């Protein structure tokens, strides 16, 4: 047996003897008893069917933000029922001014909580008291689904589910109907079922007001644990369910070898593949993919990388990797599935067995793209050297509001010239209502490929290392504190994860005090943060101290300003950096949905040349909704750095990202989207120690027509155009692409 899997199996065996009864966490909210439907319900946005007449009605709601669990300022009513195939939820949301309801059409998951009305249910189907699925929709029927986990502390909208929603605006507010097939959920094999449930409404006006069917006391360190108990679910489906989604794509394109060359001859390609999901029972799922296609994924919004020391990460959006994605959330990011760049096939099993959550994933990766090579002061990238086989295994055992877990990853080069293996446990312990302790310990062993032509240190050397993280946090009504330590060895390599810095030890702490006044400011938090990183020999890598204040304001606003006093090691010397950091965001109304500016100003460090500098960063974003069918998103980011060169300061570089994204929605299923993005860096080569280009620039554009019956039944027709700037700043064609994709999900 592979050594990583052997170690993981031993840890799994240690978890199994834990008493199953210790896993169950009773939710703190009041019980809601649900009954079976007595008549049919059509999901059309009205609640006039006979089936709703006998449904359980929920009229007790609480405003949890900005108020403190008080009676809502507007009326809310929820209705719950179920039949042999699905759970039904209906809502009547009152509004004194229906003309002010914010209900823009948008793509799936494209709902902004600060600028859009929406509502729905949050379901803890496994009744574990910490994890849940969010199923929400706005008054135009645009759906948002996500998973959340109190233990990981994050909400992830990447996973998608099969469910229906319809809504209508009326003279006194709006109504919403939701149908959730049980086949889309994962739940225990128990009779009867008890789930956790929260009914929810988002009401953005002067402030973003949030209403729930249960109280959310301030100072607690969990969210799902406060859910209502949903009683009365019985005789739910337990047999298997299969979803098969075959697809066909056709692509064509032309490329240029170098800047200035003419585009070559057109090259056409076609591909057939499929994704298959089988649920042998209600609590487990098996996913298979063959020749997966990710052409529907929009290119990532560019980030300014000039003067950054470490690699930047991007969110995972590919469907195959998203079943049980919350299991991958660990203190150290041991799994970053975007390191799997081009899989030929993939297989995984996810679910719960013997009271333990698990996922096991295997895939054959063609490679391509870049590999992050970490270091203590910075990271670099190199071409992926070979095809590889990747294996990921994760187990997690919940005990009350706590958990024990373990993870193992393995990347084996297909040419036998390299591997990277990782294994280790992690845990979360809540000793009190307001305290949380989280830890992880990992050990890695790896052999670098023998490819010094791609990267100088890839000489076949063998590396071993350990990584550990331990944090403690405390939350009360006004005071929040945090402290943590981390140690990552020089030889630590996580080629299936995202840990771009190694060879250091760090300690950090935070303290904040929150006040909630009335008036235009409803929450203000003052804070102080401190962090110190040293290398394995005790030399300073980075030291940061900052103090500031953040506040929630009227117009759905958020303002934060802070002063940072930092020191960095670069080029064998220590350099200071003192700067102001700010974020200002407002959500003025239906048409100007959001505007935000954030940035820095003051002292800087020129990491490329190891010297002090001055500079600023300004990132401006705005979302404009001229009408409910059209949305325009704007991005204008700038960063500049100046250095003192024997006299007055001189500009080292100016970097920019400009992006326009316009979407026209025909309805909640069909849209046309046009994106144009320009990324550029202008430098003064005379101010650099090493040779650099005076100008880099790239313009990318795309147009896409999409029809989505659901997230796996789709039609895409798209065009892409790529251009790069030559030394005269002229944009030269580098590539053109045309693609068509058809996919349909068959369910049985």
pLDDT digits (tens, 9 = 90+) for 329-363: 899 999 988 888 888 999 999 998 888 999 999 99
CATH topology of domain 34-233: Immunoglobulin-like (2.60.40)
- Residue 296: pLDDT over 50: no
- What average pLDDT does the structure give for the chain? 88
Evaluate whether 372 touches 305 at the Cβ level (below 8 Å): no
Give the integer Cα–Cα distance in Å for 704 and 38.
44
The answer to which of 21-30, 80-89, 367-376, 420-429 has the lowest mean pLDDT is 21-30
Q: Can you give the pLDDT at residue 294?
A: 55
What pLDDT does 282 receive? 85
Q: What is the pLDDT of residue 458?
A: 83
| Residue 367 in this model has a pLDDT that exceeds 90 | no
Mean pLDDT of 216-229: 88
% of the chain with per-residue pLDDT over 90:
61
From CA 575, how far away is CA 610, in angstroms rounded? 8
Above pLDDT 70, what percent of the chain? Answer: 92
Q: Checking DSSP bridges between strand 228-233 and strand 241-255, what pairing results, if any?
A: unpaired
pLDDT at 729: 83
- Position with higher pLDDT, 299 vs 392: 392
Nearest to 86 by CA among 45, 43, 143: 43
Task: State residue 384's pLDDT score.
Answer: 78
- Over residues 157-181, mean pLDDT: 94
More confident residue, 423 or 247: 423
**Residues 103, 52 contacting (CB under 8 angstroms):** no
Q: How confident is the model at residue 219 (pLDDT cuts 50, 70, 90)?
A: confident
Q: Residue 236 class from Cβ within 10 Å (0-12 exposed, 13-18 middle, 19+ buried)?
A: buried
Residue 220 Cα distances to 66, 196, 226, 430, 512, angstroms: 16, 18, 10, 11, 15
Coil/strand/helix, residue 699: strand
To which residue do tokens 């992830």 refer?
156
What is the reported pLDDT for 373? 82
Q: Strand pairing partners for 223?
A: none
Question: What is the C-alpha separation between 558 and 577, in angstroms, rounded?
Answer: 26
637-640 own/partner pairs: CB under 8 Å, 24+ apart:
637/304, 639/304, 639/306, 639/307, 639/615, 640/615, 640/616
Range 536-564 burial, b when 16+ CB lie within 10 A, else e: eeeeebbbbebebebbbbebbbbbbebeb
Contact 545/533 with Cβ under 8 angstroms?
no
Q: What is the mean pLDDT of residues 13-35?
A: 59
Judged by average pLDDT, the poorest of 201-205, 234-238, 276-280, 607-611 is 234-238
Task: Indicate if the alpha-carbon torsion angle 733, 338, 369, 714 is positive or negative.
Answer: negative
């Amino acid at each position: 047996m592979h050594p990583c899997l052997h170690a993981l199996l031993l840890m799994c065996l240690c978890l199994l003897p834990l008493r199953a009864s210790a896993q169950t966490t009773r939710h703190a909210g009041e019980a809601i008893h649900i009954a079976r439907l007595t008549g049919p319900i059509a999901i059309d946005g009205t609640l006039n069917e006979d089936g709703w007449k006998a449904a359980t009605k929920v009229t007790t709601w609480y405003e949890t933000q900005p108020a403190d669990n008080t009676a809502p300022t507007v009326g809310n009513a929820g209705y719950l029922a179920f039949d042999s195939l699905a759970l039904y939820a209906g809502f009547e949301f009152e509004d004194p001014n229906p003309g002010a309801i914010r209900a823009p059409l948008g793509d799936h998951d494209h709902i902004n909580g600060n600028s859009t009305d929406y509502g729905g249910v949050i379901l803890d189907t496994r009744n574990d008291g910490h994890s849940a699925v969010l199923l929400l929709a706005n008054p135009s029927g645009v759906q948002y689904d996500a998973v959340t986990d109190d233990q990981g502390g994050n909400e992830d909208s990447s996973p998608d589910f099969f469910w229906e929603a319809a809504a209508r605006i009326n003279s006194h507010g709006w109504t919403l109907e939701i149908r959730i097939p049980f086949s889309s959920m994962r739940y225990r094999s128990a009779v009867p079922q008890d789930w956790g449930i929260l009914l929810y409404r988002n009401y953005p006006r002067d402030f973003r007001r949030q209403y729930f069917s249960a109280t959310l006391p301030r100072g607690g360190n969990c969210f799902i644990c406060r859910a209502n108990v949903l009683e009365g679910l019985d005789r739910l489906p337990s047999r298997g369910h299969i979803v098969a989604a075959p697809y066909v794509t056709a692509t064509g394109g032309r490329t240029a070898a170098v800047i200035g060359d003419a585009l070559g001859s057109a090259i056409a390609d076609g591909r057939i593949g499929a994704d298959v999901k089988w649920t042998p029972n209600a609590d487990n799922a098996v996913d298979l993919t063959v020749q997966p296609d990710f052409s529907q994924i929009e290119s990532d919004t560019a980030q300014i990388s000039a003067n950054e020391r470490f690699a930047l990460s991007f969110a995972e959006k590919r469907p195959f990797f998203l079943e049980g994605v919350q299991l991958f959330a660990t203190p150290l990011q041991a799994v970053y599935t975007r390191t799997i760049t081009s899989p030929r096939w993939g297989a995984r099993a996810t679910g719960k067995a013997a009271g333990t959550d698990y996922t096991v994933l295997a895939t054959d990766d063609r490679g391509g793209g870049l590999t992050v090579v970490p270091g203590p002061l910075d990271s670099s990238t190199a071409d992926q050297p070979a095809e590889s086989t990747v294996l990921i295994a994760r187990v997690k055992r919940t005990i009350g509001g706590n958990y024990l877990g373990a993870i193992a990853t393995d990347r084996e080069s297909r040419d036998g010239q390299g591997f990277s293996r990782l294994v280790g446990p992690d845990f979360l312990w809540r000793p009190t209502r307001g305290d949380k302790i989280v830890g992880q310990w990992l050990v890695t062993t790896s052999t670098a490929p023998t490819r010094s032509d791609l990267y100088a240190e890839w000489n076949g050397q063998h590396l071993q290392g350990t990584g550990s993280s331990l944090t403690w946090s405390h939350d009360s009504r006004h005071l929040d504190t945090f402290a943590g330590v981390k140690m990552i060895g020089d030889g630590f390599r996580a080629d299936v994860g995202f840990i771009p810095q190694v060879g250091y030890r760090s300690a950090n702490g935070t303290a904040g005090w929150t006040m909630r006044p009335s008036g235009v400011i409803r929450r203000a938090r003052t804070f102080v943060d401190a962090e110190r990183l040293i290398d394995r020999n005790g030399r300073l890598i980075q030291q940061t101290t900052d103090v500031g204040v953040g506040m929630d304001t009227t117009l759905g606003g958020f303002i934060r300003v802070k002063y940072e006093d930092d020191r960095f090691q670069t080029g064998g010397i220590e350099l200071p950096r003192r700067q102001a950091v700010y974020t200002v965001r407002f959500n003025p109304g239906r048409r100007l949905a959001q505007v935000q500016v954030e940035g820095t100003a003051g002292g800087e460090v020129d990491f490329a040349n190891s010297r002090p500098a001055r500079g600023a960063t300004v990132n401006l974003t705005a979302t404009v909704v001229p009408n409910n069918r059209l949305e325009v998103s704007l991005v204008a980011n700038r960063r500049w750095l100046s250095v003192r060169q024997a006299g007055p300061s001189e500009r080292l570089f100016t970097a920019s990202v400009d992006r326009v994204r316009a979407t026209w929605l025909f309805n909640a299923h069909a849209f046309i989207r046009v994106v144009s993005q320009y990324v550029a860096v202008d430098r003064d080569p005379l101010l650099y120690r090493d040779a650099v280009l005076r100008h880099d620039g790239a313009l990318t554009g795309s147009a896409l027509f999409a029809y989505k019956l659901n997230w796996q039944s789709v039609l895409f027709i798209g065009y892409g155009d790529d251009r790069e700037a030559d030394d005269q700043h002229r944009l030269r064609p580098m590539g053109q692409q045309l693609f068509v994709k058809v996919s349909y999900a068959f369910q049985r």
